């Protein structure tokens, strides 16, 4: 019975490992460019909706666009300012995870340790899939501009 459960676990782990995709730096760059274009397009669409819904003139649209660009620049600067802190926290978290792993390896026998690792990977994959599903089900934000008359 134990062998059957172990065999099923290894088959399941193998299928999870094969399902993972690896991305290259070129893929990431292409996706970043694509995302930037989509963001700019959405901004234009929102501005057009505001112009129509609020009956704005070109001067007002230009001022709103400048305000949005300014806020985006401030957000980006804040993100870059805190980037070092995030990297330090990530390194600390990874070190704690490695220490936990080493401690568990001392406590558990090899079979228990392998099962524990498999359970952790399965739970991580489950969380990853749930997050992906949540992103896919997320509805577009409503600016409320269409509701204004």
pTM of the predicted structure, to 2 decimals? 0.46
Domain range enclosing 51:
34-137
Residue 147 maps to a domain: no
Does residue 13 belong to any structural domain of this protein? no
Band (33; pLDDT cuts 50, 70, 90): very high
Per DSSP, 15 falls in state: H
CA–CA distance, 86 with 76 (Å, rounded to integer)? 14
Asked if 50 and 145 count as a contact pair (C-beta separation under 8 A), the reply is yes
- The total of structural domains in the chain comes to 1
Structure confidence at residue 84 (pLDDT): 80
């Amino acid at each position: 019975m134990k062998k059957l459960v172990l065999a099923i676990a290894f088959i399941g782990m193998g299928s999870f490992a094969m399902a993972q995709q690896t991305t290259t730096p070129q893929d990431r760059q292409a996706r970043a460019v694509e995302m930037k274009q989509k963001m700019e397009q959405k901004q234009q669409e929102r501005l057009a909706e505001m112009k129509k819904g609020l009956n704005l003139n070109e001067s007002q649209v230009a001022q709103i666009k400048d305000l949005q660009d300014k806020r985006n620049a401030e957000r980006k600067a804040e993100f870059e300012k805190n980037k070092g802190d995030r990297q330090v926290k990530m390194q600390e978290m990874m070190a704690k995870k490695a220490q936990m792993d080493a401690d568990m390896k001392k406590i558990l026998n090899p079979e228990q340790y392998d099962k524990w690792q498999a359970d952790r990977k399965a739970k991580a994959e489950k969380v990853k899939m749930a997050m992906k599903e949540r992103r896919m089900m997320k509805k577009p934000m409503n600016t409320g501009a269409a509701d204004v008359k």
